[in-house]
Amino acid sequence: MYARKETNRLRLISKVARLYYEEDMPQKQIAEQLHLSQATISRLLKKGKEEGIIRTTVNVPMGVYSDLEDQLQVKYRIQEVIVADCAQETEEEILRSIGVAGAYYVETRVGHKEVVGISSWSSALLAMMEAMHPLVNVKNTKVVQILGGIGNPAAEIHATNLTKRLAALIQGEAVFLPSPAVVSSKENKDSFLQDTFVRVAYDLFDQVSLALVGIGALEPSQLLSNSGNTFSKEEIQNLKAKNAIGDICLRFFDASGDPVRSTLDERVMGMPFEKFKSIPRVVGVAGGDRKVNPIKAALKGGLINVLVTDCFTARALL
């Protein structure tokens, strides 16, 4: 008697499951057809999953790396990881792929009244801008430079365009930090901090809700070198001697993601190291072999909580 009752129960679960999953019939319609309550239909579907009658599988398309993303999120305990498909492990291809992935992230995540902070001298962020489409459903946003954007005129246009174009794409106001990223002395920095427009940018740092940053290796990128906003070889060696491994906005950190303090901090015009951990979303857009260890350190130190990278770098980070 019990066996017959159990068979009938399983038959009903199977019938409901077929109607819902194979016939795409809404739960309300199934309830009407079988003369059951909608709550009963929902409960039967839940039982079907618990007892293995219903098994849901997701066929992940080629070029999508959900497993890698999940593993990285768990390993480094961060909000989100976006792993871009990349055909070749070349710098040009990696920049293109993470640029497209980063652009989609921004297009789908920026909200009303967002204050977006952006680093001035990042090739990855430039690639992201080139791939972005305009947003039409956001209002009252601002984009502020979180690292001084003045430098060699030949390179400065990139920093200016980066901020100006992002502001235009998200229907926002561009707020520039009109100073070099690196000044000659602490006294020079103090002078810049007296400037009204510099203060306007600095005062917005506390309101940044989304920061877009590149992650630098100890040796500066070509774009940063061209801008003139770099330290001398001797100063870089001193940072190396203090176990510096990378930087975000020229704030250097070691392999654990802890700050590497030096007098060079007194010459950087930009967001202080401590503020990164208080921003709700700090999105690091970076990839490539020479960036693996700096990215790993930034993740360990909690300096970023969203990572956009390529599939080769993602595997290396695991």
Give residue-wise pLDDT tens across range 218-239. Answer: 887 776 676 766 788 898 899 9
Structure-block tokens of residue 191? 């002078």
| 66-317 fold | Rossmann fold (3.40.50)
Residue 150: pLDDT over 80:
yes
Give the whole-angstrom CA distance, residue 206 versus residue 275. 8
Q: Which helix (H) or strand (E) holds 210?
A: strand 210-213
Give the whole-angstrom CA distance, residue 249 versus residue 258. 15
Residue 272: pLDDT over 80:
yes
3-35 pLDDT, tens digit per residue, is: 666 878 888 999 999 999 999 999 999 999 998
Average the pLDDT over 179-198 and give the result. Answer: 93
Could you tell me which residues come within 8 angstroms of residue 27 by beta carbon, excluding any fewer than 6 positions away? 20, 38, 41, 42, 45
What pLDDT is recorded for position 226? 66
Residue 302: pLDDT over 60:
yes
What pLDDT is recorded for position 171? 93
Average the pLDDT over 141-163 and give the result. Answer: 83
Residue 284: how many other CB atoms lie within 10 Å: 28
**Domain segments of the chain as ranges:** 2-50, 66-317
Secondary structure of residue 108 in the 3-state scheme: helix
What pLDDT is recorded for position 45? 95
Residue 1: pLDDT over 60:
no
**The dihedral of CA 267, 268, 270, 271: what is its sign?**
negative
Amino acid at 187: E
Is 307 in contact with 284 (CB distance < 8 Å)?
yes
Average the pLDDT over 76-88 and give the result. Answer: 94
* The CATH number of the domain covering residues in 2-50: 1.10.10.60
